[in-house]
Amino acid sequence: MSMTLYHATTRDAARKINASRCFLCGKRGYAGPAVYFASKAEDAVAHAFNGRPDKRADIVISCSVELGRQREAKKHELTAQPNGFDSVRIKGQSTFAVYDPARINILDFQDVAGNQVTVGLVKRPQSQKLKGMSEECAVKVISEAITSSLGQCLNEADLATLYSKHAGLRELVGGMKSFCSRRPELVWDGNASAKVSLAVSQEHAVSVFIKASKSSPAKTLNATDLASLYSRHAGLCKIVGGMRTFGAKHPELAWDGSSHAHVSLEMTEERAVQVIADAIKSSPKQSLDAADLGVLYSTHEGLRNVVRGMKTFCEKRPELAWDVKTLAHVSLAVSEDHTV
């Protein structure tokens, strides 16, 4: 079932929606994260931002919304999209929660003046109105699916699932290879002929290395680890070039000049505290002696240089405690919130 519904928001948010022709689900609401509409423009204004008096809507956006399978629910009865349903109508109100932005077709923008609605502030000419999903919205849908996938890419089966969940996506994309050639945000794997992934930027490459380093038991990446990352992330090897040069340009990463084959997170005081705290928590005795620290220094590049003297380091860091009796044990400082 398709209905004309109204969404009220700020002028700045309306400009962004107008530019992308796509809505994003909010983080909370009467029925969980969704895009919220009302059947009347004045109700959309009254209920905008959950009725908060400190926030005011400036623009009302009228949309044609494909509600799909719908159910009713009381306010705050649901905290997420109910299984098997595409939208929710809030009992006793004209409010609708829509969980898939691809079901929303933007029709018009209206300026709100007090309680009166006047048409025409950012209204698009009829010839510019888009039906169904926009390319920008399609890119967002595909990008989010790639980001949440285990392999950071989508194969034919993944794309088929995506098409079944998002009305109009298949028709807009057409052939994925040609779609990727038009959209610089996406990369088509010409070897596999069945994979699409996000184009790798320098910032994205850094985030890939940071995530991989954090999940590595040794907290570092060797040549084999890097080769695995390159095979899983299309374009990563090309954007990195030489890892030593890449690491030098990004202070978040550290290149091990001795082995010429290890990259890790740059060791800072904050990271040093985290490394030591994690080691203490995983220790059966909940502390580290001189031998434990020796192992820690050998497995974490740059840790010894940052710590220097452990006693002095503990004095600077309230999270850590130095045992003055043994002079060779470090443990976590006990706070009021710490439970033994």
pLDDT in tens, 164-177: 878 778 888 878 88
Instruction: Tell me the helix, strand and coil percentages in the chain, rounded to 5.
Output: 40, 20, 40
pLDDT in tens, 23-71: 888 888 899 999 999 999 888 988 887 666 667 888 889 888 889 889 9
DSSP letters, 182-193, are H-TTEEEETTTS
If you average pLDDT over every residue of the chain, what do you get?
78
pLDDT in tens, 222-235: 888 888 888 777 67
When mean pLDDT is compared across 39-48, 181-190, 319-328, the lowest value belongs to 319-328
Global pTM reads 0.41
- Locate 26 and state its tokens: 């909010």
d(CA 243, CA 230) in angstroms, rounded, equals 12
CA distances for 153 relative to 14, 146, 169, angstroms: 31, 5, 17
pLDDT in tens, 95-130: 999 998 878 888 888 877 644 444 334 444 333 333
Tokens 């009228």 belong to residue: 62
Where in the chain are the domains?
A: 2-128, 135-198, 202-265, 269-332
CATH number of 2-128: 3.90.228.10
- With a CB cutoff of 8 Å and minimum separation 6, the contacts of 258 are none
- With a CB cutoff of 8 Å and minimum separation 6, the contacts of 64 are 2, 3, 4, 104, 105, 107
